[in-house]
C-alpha cells in the first residue's frame, strides 16, 4: 500500500493530550498511565528532548519522543495509530530522530520495549538495533523489558571506534 501523505514535524504543547492518550492506548496498555499529558508537555518543553509528530491532514497519527544525553540518545516512546501501522510512518519518525542524533554527535540510540512485544522487536531489528539485555520487572515490577541499542559510530574491521 502506498505511503499516505504524512507530514512530520515537532510536536506542540497542544499535542500533549493526544500523544499521552496514544501512549496509554498503544504502549502502556495494562501497565497504568505514566506518560500523562503533563509529562508529555514537560518533554515537549525540554531542550534536550525531541517530541516528533506525524500528521495526516492535521490529525496526529504517530509520534516519537527521544532524549539526548552527552553521547547516547534514548528513544522513550514511538507509536503509530493501529490503522496507519505498517506504512513506513514509524520508520520515518525513527529516521528523523536518527538524523538528529547523528547531527548531535550521538554514539548510540537505546530503547526498551516490552519483551512480549514481538512486533516491536522485529521493527527495531529491521532498523538495525541489536539486543543488549533484559531488565526483569522493568515495567511496574510486572513485565520484563528487552533493551536494544543501535551503534551510530562507524566501524573499522568490525571494531567500534
Asked whether 50 and 65 are in contact (CB, 8 A), the reply is yes
Rounded Cα gap, residues 18 and 70, in angstroms: 30
Rounded Cα gap, residues 77 and 74, in angstroms: 9
| Per-residue model confidence (pLDDT) at position 4 | 57
Residue 147, burial from CB neighbour count under 10 angstroms (0-12, 13-18, 19+): middle
Encode the chain (161 residues) as per-residue pLDDT tens digits.
Answer: 555 589 999 999 999 999 999 999 998 887 878 899 999 999 999 999 999 999 999 899 999 999 999 999 999 999 999 998 888 999 999 999 999 999 999 999 999 998 999 999 999 999 999 999 998 877 877 888 899 999 998 765 555 54
Domains of the chain, each with CATH number or no CATH: 7-160 (3.40.630.30)
| Per-residue model confidence (pLDDT) at position 55 | 96
Amino acid at each position: 500500500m502506498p505511503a499516505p501523505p504524512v507530514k512530520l514535524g515537532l510536536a506542540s504543547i497542544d499535542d500533549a493530550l493526544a500523544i499521552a492518550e496514544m501512549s496509554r492506548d498503544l504502549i502502556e496498555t495494562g501497565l497504568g498511565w505514566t506518560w500523562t499529558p503533563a509529562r508529555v508537555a514537560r518533554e515537549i518543553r525540554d531542550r534536550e528532548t525531541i517530541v516528533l509528530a506525524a500528521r495526516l491532514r492535521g490529525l496526529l497519527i504517530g509520534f516519537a519522543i527521544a532524549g539526548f544525553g552527552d553521547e547516547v540518545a534514548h528513544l522513550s516512546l514511538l507509536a503509530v495509530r493501529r490503522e496507519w501501522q505498517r506504512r513506513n510512518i514509524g520508520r520515518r519518525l525513527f529516521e528523523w530522530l536518527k538524523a538528529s542524533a547523528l547531527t548531535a554527535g550521538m554514539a548510540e540510540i537505546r530503547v526498551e520495549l516490552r519483551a512480549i512485544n514481538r512486533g516491536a522487536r522485529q521493527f527495531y531489528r529491521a532498523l538495525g538495533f541489536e539486543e543488549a539485555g533484559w531488565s526483569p520487572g522493568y515495567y511496574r515490577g510486572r513485565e520484563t523489558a528487552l533493551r536494544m541499542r543501535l551503534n551510530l559510530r562507524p566501524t573499522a574491521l568490525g571494531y567500534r571506534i
